């Protein structure tokens, strides 16, 4: 590509709303432009990077046996009602109506749509396992779109869905995707960690996040100094999940009767739950409702008891029967839930007004009666429950370290959540109707671009790893008015193109300083400078981000570049 023809509107000034390096550099390098808040256009150089990342991801998905499809971004409300997520998704979902008042959303993710795709036509266990994916535009009306394409409202995601006949099949598909993700992010040259995640609105099974380490990342991860434990801070707080089989305490119903939807919940408790992701109230008996707070329950228990300074003689440890007979509310520690919301419920809801407040975990002898929670603020509770550096590792007991990162990918075991909701069945070996065991797997393509820049830049600009660079080589013709320089530059340009190398030639009639500054800003890895020595067929060769510059004969260029 000749830079005299390239649409690359570079900026010398940093736009005021750009806070982090990747956002600033993508704008300055003319790779993206903002349309409205959280919505971006991808310009030629930026789009090439996106295509490179997509290509890597596609290759690894295909190698893992996944098949590419393309689904619509417009999704009918009915499918989301079948899974129960039309209400659960909340204001992050872009909703719209057609001319006949029929309701739709712009897909924030596609579990329902993929389940619907196969449910009437994939009939037999013989057709399983199946893994299908797409690279597609997603829409989420983020509360705080920021950092450019890192957290935008329209973004490109690779999303995949696996269908298996049983749980072990699902686990295998999950591990295949895990390995494919490791390969893809390694090929993008990212420094990343795989951490246990919180499944949030997706499902109740295991999930893992692929986190690119970066100080500007919005995820905080806790990992162990000594063993391989690593989790997002949310997950680290959610050590116990709601599994009544594991607990001594019998939970009679997982959801409060009559409270099936967010609206019911809001009505019942009179709270503002406009941002709800998941119901987190568990009815234990007619009178006892557990408010679930994430975290290591024993740790939280001790922290809270110490904080409340409940006098010893007023404490009453409750056994199973005792808990059942309490009239009031329990503050427990479990559940894949949103900490801020839980605290909000705890502080704002009717639960607070109940008598006989008990705190503790839903486990025998972990309940303490008569605790007054009026004298603690939401911030204090939140602080008490945060995972901190040097907290005990839940796996080996050693100390935890905390580091920031960017969630670039996420894999989920969905179990039968969607095949139950959408009644998607197949016939198993015995001719019996059976539900699909599913997984879903996302990679933020555009966010990955930003994450790579966070890890590869200096004060002059981007330093693209070769695998995702928009072009491999940039030939800077120092003075485009000099025939010998232009001729040699173009000769090299054509030679490299013939060899299949992606080359930019800066043939613009600009000052040399401008050209060098731009070359550094846009971060092309291999740089060839054609200047005064062009007469002798000598050029300067350097690598972006490295100091050394060597003079070589232009004949040797191809060997160097390979």
Contacts with ligand ATP in 148-207 (CB under 6 A)? 151-152, 155, 157
Contact 118, 10 (CB under 8 A): no
Which residue among 444, 470, 489, 523 contacts ligand ATP (CB under 6 A)?
444
Candidates 510, 549, 517, 546; CA nearest to 533 is 549
Site for ligand ATP in 105-124 (CB under 6 A): 109
Q: How far is the CB of 427 from ligand ATP (least distance, A)?
A: 32
Backbone angles phi, psi at 51, to 5 degrees: -65, -35
Nearer to ligand ATP, 138 or 435 (CB): 138
- CA dist., res. 419 & res. 114, Å (int): 10
Nearer to Mg ion, 14 or 216 (CB): 216
Of 39, 41, 113, 122, the closest CA to residue 70 belongs to 113
Name the residue with the smallest CB distance to Mg ion: 410
Would you call 405 helix, strand, or coil by DSSP? strand
In DSSP notation, 273-295 reads -TT--S--EEE-SSSEEEEE--S
User: Of 409-448, which residues contact Mg ion (CB under 5 A)?
Assistant: 410
550 φ, ψ (degrees, to nearest 5): -120, 150
Taking the C-alpha atoms of residue 549 and residue 541, their distance in angstroms, rounded to an integer, is: 6
Instruction: Name the residue nearer to ligand ATP (CB basis): 159 or 520.
Output: 159
CB of residue 229 to Mg ion, shortest distance in Å = 19
The single residue among 88, 141, 142, 348 that binds ligand ATP, judged by CB under 6 A, is 142
- Tokens 């179990």 -> residue: 415
> Which of residues 407 and 507 has its CB atom nearest to Mg ion in the complex?
407
Peptide bond into 129 cis (omega under 30): yes
Choices 160-168, 321-329, 371-379, 401-409; region in contact with ligand ATP by CB under 6 A: 401-409
- 410 vs 485, beta carbon nearer ligand ATP: 410
Q: Which does 409 bind (CB under 5 to 8 A by kind): ligand ATP, Mg ion, none?
A: ligand ATP
Using the Cα atoms of residue 373, residue 379, residue 380 and residue 386 in order, give the sign of their dihedral. positive
The interface partner of residue 142, options being Mg ion, ligand ATP, none and the CB cut-off 5 to 8 Å by kind, is ligand ATP
Shortest Å, Cβ 411 to ligand ATP: 9
Pairing of strands 103-106, 207-213: unpaired
Nearer to ligand ATP, 417 or 447 (CB): 447
Is 140 a binding residue for ligand ATP by CB under 6 A? The answer is yes
Q: What is the pattern of x (binds ligand ATP, CB under 6 A) and - over residues 409-428?
A: xx------------------
Crossing angle, helix 378-385 and helix 339-348, to 10 degrees? 140
Neighbours of 239 (CB within 10 A): 19
* Cα–Cα dist 345/362, whole Å: 18
CA 94 to chain centroid, in Å, comes to: 19
Q: Does 447 bind ligand ATP (CB under 6 A)?
A: yes
- Please tell me whether residue 141 binds ligand ATP under the rule CB under 6 A: no
Choice between 198 and 518, CB closer to ligand ATP: 198
Contact window for ligand ATP (CB under 6 A) among 81-89, 439-447, 503-511, 553-561: 439-447
The whole-angstrom separation of Cα 492 and Cα 496 is: 6
- Please give the residues from 66 up to 85 whose contact with Mg ion meets the rule CB under 5 A: none
Q: How far apart are CA 413 and CA 163, in angstroms?
A: 11
**How many residues interact with Mg ion (rule CB under 5 A)?**
2
- Residue 445 beta carbon to ligand ATP: minimum distance, rounded to whole angstroms: 8
Strands 154-164 and 130-139: antiparallel
Q: How many residues bind ligand ATP (CB under 6 A)?
A: 15
State which residue, 318 or 451, has the beta carbon closest to ligand ATP: 451
Q: Output the residue with the shortest Cβ distance to ligand ATP.
A: 444
Give the angle 71-72-78 at the CA atoms, nearest 5°.
105
d(CA 82, CA 88): 12
Contacts to Mg ion by CB under 5 A: 407, 410
Contacts to ligand ATP by CB under 6 A: 109, 140, 142, 151-152, 155, 157, 407-410, 442, 444, 446-447
């Amino acid at each position: 590509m000749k830079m005299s023809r390239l649409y690359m509107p570079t900026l010398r000034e940093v736009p005021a709303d750009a806070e982090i390096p990747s956002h600033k550099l993508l704008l300055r390098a003319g790779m993206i432009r903002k349309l409205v808040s959280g919505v971006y256009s991808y310009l030629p150089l930026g789009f090439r990077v996106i295509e490179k990342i997509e290509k890597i991801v596609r290759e690894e998905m295909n190698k893992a046996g996944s098949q590419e499809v393309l689904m619509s971004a417009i999704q009918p409300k009915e499918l989301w009602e079948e899974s129960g997520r039309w209400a659960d998704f909340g204001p992050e979902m872009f909703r719209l109506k057609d001319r006949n008042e029929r309701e739709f959303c712009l897909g924030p993710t596609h579990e329902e749509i993929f389940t619907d795709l196969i449910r009437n036509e994939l009939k037999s266990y013989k057709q399983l396992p199946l893994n299908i994916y797409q690279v597609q535009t997603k829409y989420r009306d983020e509360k705080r779109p920021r950092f450019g394409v890192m957290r935008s409202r329209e973004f490109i995601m690779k999303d995949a869905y696996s269908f298996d006949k049983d749980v072990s099949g699902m686990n295998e598909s999950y591990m295949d995707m895990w390995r494919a993700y490791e390969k893809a992010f390694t090929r993008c040259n990212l420094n990343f960690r795989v951490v246990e995640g919180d499944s949030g609105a997706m499902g109740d099974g295991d999930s893992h996040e692929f986190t690119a380490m970066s100080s500007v990342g919005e995820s905080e991860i806790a990992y162990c100094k000594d063993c391989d434990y690593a989790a997002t801070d949310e997950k680290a707080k959610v050590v116990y999940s709601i599994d009544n089989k594991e607990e001594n305490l019998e939970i009679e119903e997982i959801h409060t009767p009559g409270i099936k939807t967010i609206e019911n919940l809001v009505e019942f408790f009179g709270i503002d739950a406009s941002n709800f992701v998941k119901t987190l109230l568990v009815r234990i008996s007619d009178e006892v409702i557990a408010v679930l707070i994430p975290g290591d329950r024993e740790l939280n228990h001790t922290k809270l008891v110490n904080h409340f300074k409940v006098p010893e003689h007023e404490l009453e440890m409750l056994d199973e029967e005792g808990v059942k007979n309490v009239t009031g509310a329990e503050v427990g520690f479990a559940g894949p839930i949103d900490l801020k919301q839980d605290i909000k419920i705890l502080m704002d809801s009717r639960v607070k007004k109940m008598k006989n407040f008990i705190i503790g975990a839903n486990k025998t002898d972990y309940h303490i009666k008569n605790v007054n929670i009026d004298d603690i603020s939401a911030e204090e509770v939140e602080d008490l429950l945060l995972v901190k550096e040097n907290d005990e590792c839940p796996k080996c007991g050693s100390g935890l370290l905390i580091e920031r990162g960017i969630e670039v990918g996420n894999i989920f075991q969905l179990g039968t959540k969607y095949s139950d909701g959408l009644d998607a069945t197949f016939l198993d070996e015995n001719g019996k109707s059976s539900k699909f065991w599913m997984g879903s797997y996302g990679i933020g393509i555009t966010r990955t671009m930003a994450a790579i820049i966070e890890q590869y830049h200096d004060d002059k600009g981007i330093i693209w790893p070769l695998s995702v660079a928009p072009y491999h080589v940039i030939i800077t013709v120092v003075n485009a008015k000099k025939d010998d320089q232009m001729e040699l530059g173009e000769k090299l340009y054509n030679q490299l193109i013939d060899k299949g190398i992606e080359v930019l030639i800066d043939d613009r009639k600009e000052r040399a300083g401008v050209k060098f500054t731009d070359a550094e800003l846009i971060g092309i890895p291999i740089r060839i400078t054609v200047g005064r020595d062009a007469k002798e067929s000598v050029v300067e060769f350097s690598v972006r981000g490295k100091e050394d510059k060597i003079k070589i004969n232009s004949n040797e260029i191809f060997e160097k570049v390979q």
